[in-house]
Structure 1
Amino acid sequence: MSRKKMASPCVSDPYQLDFRTLHLLTVVHREKSFSRAAEVLGLSQSVVSYGIEKLRHVFDDPLFVREGGKTVPTERCEAVARYANDLLAEFDAMKLQQAFDPSDITATLTIACNYYERSILIPAIVACLRQEAPRVQIEVIDASGSGHRRLIDGEADVLIGPYQRADAAFFEKTLIREHYVCLMDARHPLAKRSPTLEDYLDFEHVIITYGGLWISPYVRKIEGMGYRLNAPLRVPSPAGIDRIVAGSNLVATIPRRLAQIRDPSLAIVPCPVDAPLDVKMVWSVRKHHSLLMKWMRERIASAVAGLSL
């Protein structure tokens, strides 16, 4: 039996496009692969290729090119994918305005954050969303100092972290307020009492640099007072910080909640530098009015508020 060959698309009128084709584009863009997109969508790869070819004719752009063995979106594709994601989200929101049933939500929520949020907040957020909206897909991506750009580019729906930016293009909500503590080996000479500022300045510190993309509030406070910490060791992330201070005289200044999930044999003492850390949820103007995203932001805030912190 001969197979009927799929006709080559010649669509150039954008009004002939449908949501299915735009959704197909967003999946290929997210997966960076035609074959993986076909698996996600439950389609053949030829159907995926046919849909992308239609879009290529409409936008007069290749949309995806091969570079170094990888499928890479063009600049035009990035813009179209952002528009398609917003359009589909808004359409979902319009449907939800009539009958909002979280169990029917099939959208993808992308959260940009870093190590602290992934360790302390994300487990509760994921549990809450999956319980109320079991069909929702959640993707957690690294913010790495560029979280606001990820919001602008449509790579993330919300950004969670200690971010401060006065910009009319964003909204924000404080989720929790953190305070710093000192994490040290239990045999450290000051492990059993609260250090004074003089004691603190004499410590041998492990400074977390966050790749040079962010400076901790306590460091800014110390430097603003005209002091400089004695830091024989600098690391890019809090990951593994408990194993670094264990068995040494090194002291790490980290958020209290993060210290509490480290090695329980280590000592946690108050930090004499008062520099609170506000962990916020940030989102862009274009996501602000989406009923779907509003519901998800409310769930995120509720999940964090329900933590025993």
Structure 2
Amino acid sequence: MGLVCCIKIPDAVPMKDVDPYSVDFSALRVLELVHSYGSFSRAAETLGVTQSSVSYTIERLRKAFDDPLFVRQGGQVVSTQKCDELAGQAAMILAEFNRMTLPTDFDPSTASGVITIACNYYERAVIIPDLVRVMRTKAPNLKLKIISSFSSGRQRLSQGESDILIGPMRVPESGFFGRKLLTDHYTVIVPEGHALQDGVLDVETYAAMPQIIVTYGSQWRSRYLIEVEDQGLELNSVVEVPSPAMIPDLIRDTDLIATVPARVAAVMGSDVRTIPCPLPSPFDVMAYWTERTHKSPMHKWVREELSKIVRRLVTLDS
């Protein structure tokens, strides 16, 4: 694992002169973060300390475990095998300790804390508004922090930057817990008064229509675009945007169409009309979390509220 840092790396394994039993949870957290981020500076930023403080802690850990932990290799700084093992064990120890600090009972009406969810536009438009209303009603002292996930969602979850990852992705690795929230599909939207607003699209006509393509900053590719490519077609893209957020304004009074998830189209207001997409490309929206929060009463409550929200959405579709 490559590291970006400015520290002195020992040329030889240091002699052990720090008692391993003096290593505390804070030091293990430093080791886990540096190993996970691949950066001393990012670990320091996350912990709210200076980089020199992180370097000092790593130096103590080198001496305690009689191992350099991070060494020069091919012009880069990499973790040793023992460091990899220690970081994995530290993550488990810290997760267990975190569970020990949690209250056995959870009352949302009096609970305080911060829930961080990594997600993108779809979840922010379709799911998060209802979660905000639920939390303000049932758990007014809980704070909700929303961060973008894109292609780094799994990493942000594993590094503890988020408590829950929500999105249309699969996380097959071990160490993650997952739950399907709902299934959606793509639909075509057109502005009010568009010539096709009451029409039916075949695949060839659909591909030829001038349209707005949502690129998600090139960090995510919609499933319908993959199916278009698989059929050997090319969409008539005349506008590319990183998010569906401004599409209703962009297509107003034009001949443009756009393809978005059906539930996103449903919250876009009365200025757009929907037409069945010839490539609906169904996809699942998943929720993932890690061992760190798996048994936390607060996080279990939030996950259950998310499940209730999507169950209501699915019921409304029926």
The TM-score, its normalising length taken from structure 2, stands at 0.68
Equivalent residue for 1:274? 280
Root-mean-square deviation (CA, aligned residues, Å) is 4.0
8 A Cα contact 2:176 2:288, kept in partner: yes
Deviations 1:182-203 (A, max 9, x none): 1112232211122122321221
Q: What amino acid is aligned across from residue 134 of structure 2 in structure 1?
A: C
Equivalent residue for 2:182? 176
Residues 1:119 and 2:135 aligned together: no
Residues 1:161 and 2:170 aligned together: no
Q: Please, which runs of 5 or more residues in structure 2 have no aligned partner?
A: 1-17, 30-41, 49-53, 63-88
Tell me by how many angstroms 1:101 deviates.
2.6
- Find the aligned partners of 2:170 and 2:101 in 1 and give their Cα distance: 34
Change (3 A) 1:128 1:94: farther
Deviations 1:7-40 (A, max 9, x none): xxxxx999899999x99xxxxx99x699xx9xxx
Equivalent residue for 2:252? 246
Q: What amino acid is aligned across from residue 113 of structure 1 in structure 2?
A: C
Deviations 1:214-259 (A, max 9, x none): 1101111111111111112111111201111111111100011111
Q: Please, which runs of 5 or more residues in structure 1 have no aligned partner?
A: 1-11, 24-28, 38-51, 61-82
- Find the aligned partners of 2:139 and 2:60 in 1 and give their Cα distance: 35
Residues 1:208 and 2:214 aligned together: yes
Tell me by how many angstroms 1:91 deviates.
5.6
Change (3 A) 1:200 1:104: same
Selected match of 1:283 from 285, 289, 305: 289
Equivalent residue for 1:101? 107
Q: What amino acid is aligned across from residue 296 of structure 2 in structure 1?
A: L
Residues 1:222 and 2:228 aligned together: yes
8 A Cα contact 1:124 1:304, kept in partner: no
Q: What amino acid is aligned across from residue 188 of structure 1 in structure 2?
A: H
- Find the aligned partners of 2:225 and 2:281 in 1 and give their Cα distance: 9
Equivalent residue for 2:305? 299
Matches within 5 A, 1:3-42: none
| Identical columns (%) | 36
Change (3 A) 1:157 1:13: farther
Change (3 A) 1:139 1:17: farther
Residues 1:129 and 2:103 aligned together: no
- Find the aligned partners of 1:253 and 1:205 in 2 and give their Cα distance: 8
- Find the aligned partners of 1:33 and 1:256 in 2 and give their Cα distance: 37
Tell me by how many angstroms 1:166 deviates.
2.2
Change (3 A) 1:133 1:84: farther
The TM-score, its normalising length taken from structure 1, stands at 0.70
Change (3 A) 1:263 1:300: closer
Change (3 A) 1:88 1:294: farther
Q: What amino acid is aligned across from residue 295 of structure 2 in structure 1?
A: S
8 A Cα contact 1:125 1:304, kept in partner: no
Equivalent residue for 2:200? 194
Change (3 A) 1:274 1:303: closer
8 A Cα contact 1:125 1:299, kept in partner: yes
Q: What amino acid is aligned across from residue 192 of structure 1 in structure 2?
A: D
- Find the aligned partners of 1:241 and 1:271 in 2 and give their Cα distance: 17
8 A Cα contact 2:98 2:292, kept in partner: no
8 A Cα contact 2:248 2:271, kept in partner: no
8 A Cα contact 1:104 1:135, kept in partner: yes
Deviations 1:245-296 (A, max 9, x none): 1111111000111112224122211111130121111122x23642323332
